Amino acid sequence: MSLPVPSQDAPATAGHPSFFMHRAFAFLWLGQTISEFGSMITGSALQLLAVLVLGASSAQMGLLAFFSSLPILAFGLLTGVLIDRLPRRPLMIVADVSRALLLFLVPLAALAGWLHMTQLYIVTLLLSSFSFCFTIAQRSFLPSILQKEQLLEGNSKLSTSSALAEVGGPALGGLLVQLISAPFVVVIDACSYLFSAVCLLFIRERVAADVVEEPRQSFISDFLAGLHLLFSQPVLRTLARAALVRHFFGGAFAALYTLYVVRTLHISAAGYGLLVTLGGCGALVGALFARRISQRWGLARTLLGSALLDACLSFLTPLAPVALAFPCLALAQLLGDSCYVIYEIHEVSLRQALVEERMQGRLHSCMHVLVNGVGPLGALLAGWLSLEIGVRPLLWVGAAGMLLSALSLLFSPIRRL
């Protein structure tokens, strides 16, 4: 496995650490921090736009969610091949600018009186496509500007920005919708994408960091090589299997969570919102302390411990008695999300370190499709089965499935890392 070629902005040695690590990562991190906040604001604004301005029905809202996930399921695996064939930084810039132009169309259509659900479907579909492309390109680009020993810290800082946006973004988005109306709130996200694109323009990397130095094969051959890599390497195969099981049962669990909290445990809407905020706070804590925990306990014990603790905490939800429902759910949200983020940061960093740069796009796209493809299937199955056996029993099944995923790591090559 060859080491990634660092950028011209990368440090010559790792002996002089700094908060930003180096100039290239500082620009990437700054752009992503602003962009994450913008995306969280727009995530709320687009939903509220459909409901409050366009009067969308529940069926239309479901269709909107479907268009959001369609690009990942339809083109996810092929996108990885494209990212491995093209320079990643320019691809990220194109994705940012394209997302900005798409969002600028929304307020323009509102001013002209042309805004309708069909346009919102198209914007959501294209926005999701470019966002998926950017995510995979960014994860593939990170090893070209960071050395392997810096990947964990880099992913921790990026996750910290995501967690901060998760805590404050939705509430800020709802407030801004009240102040300036939903169609014009999306302008904030459009500007954040342009800001991210400008930050990427300031990154100077060696040409070798993005150019694929291998004989060009057919598109199908490259695609099959990515699948072979994922399922032939023992550690990657273990991570893929665990992710498949965890997100299938996690999707079932998440689909019933809101219904269970509000209707079964009789927690108010304000209480539910507070639980979601606590989950964001837990994610922030996990991102801040992920690197310190692995330095103290090592990679294997951090991966195994965070996965097991996250799974065990999920049992607090179906166990919660009505009298103590909120404290149990708050503990599960705060600690559970913290553990999950710790696991995710180390899992992504491990993937980036194990695979040579020319295969990064295919690896991350395969994992992304596995994670985001099985979740909706689990949710769909849970919604149907809940009518037959009830919500609480299915939450037990979901928690047991997530525990099974964590236990599978105990009997795998992960233990020897």
Report the sign of the C-alpha dihedral through residues 362, 364, 370, 373, in that order: negative
Confidence of residue 166 (pLDDT cuts 50, 70, 90): confident
Chain segment 296-320, per-residue pLDDT in tens: 999 999 999 999 999 999 999 999 8
| pLDDT > 90: percent of the chain | 29
Q: What is the DSSP string of 265-277?
A: S---HHHHHHHHH
Ranges for all domains in the chain classified under CATH 1.20.1250.20? 23-208, 222-416
Can you give the pLDDT at residue 18? 62
> Of the candidates 285, 340, 280, which has an alpha carbon nearest to the alpha carbon of residue 314?
340
What pLDDT score does 309 carry?
95
User: Model confidence at 5, in pLDDT bands (50, 70, 90)?
Assistant: very low
Is pLDDT at 218 greater than 50 in this prediction?
A: yes
Per-residue pLDDT for 380 more than 50?
Answer: yes
198 burial type by CB count under 10 A (0-12 exposed, 13-18 middle, 19+ buried):
middle
Task: Give the residue with greater pLDDT, 293 vs 185.
Answer: 293
Question: Fold for domain 222-416?
Answer: Growth Hormone; Chain: A; (1.20.1250)
Question: Residue 134: which residues within 8 A CB-CB, separation 6 or more?
Answer: 92, 95, 96, 99
Q: What is the DSSP string of 356-405?
A: -GGGHHHHHHHHHHHHHHHHHHHHHHHHHHHHHH-HHHHHHHHHHHHHHH
**Is 118 a residue whose pLDDT tops 90?**
no
DSSP labels for 211-261?
A: S--S----HHHHHHHHHHHHHHSHHHHHHHHHHHHHHHHHHHHHHHHHHII
Task: Map residue 278 onto helix, strand or coil.
Answer: helix
5-9, 35-39, 73-77: which has the minimum mean pLDDT? 5-9
The pTM assigned to this predicted structure is 0.78
Section 375-380 average pLDDT: 78
Task: Give pLDDT, residue 340.
Answer: 94
**pLDDT tens profile 337-363:** 999 999 999 999 998 888 888 888 888
Among the CATH numbers 3.40.50.720, 1.10.760.10, 3.40.190.10, 1.20.1250.20, which is that of 23-208? 1.20.1250.20
Determine the Cα–Cα distance for residues 309 and 406; give it in Å rounded to an integer.
Answer: 9
Across the range 55-65, mean pLDDT stands at 69
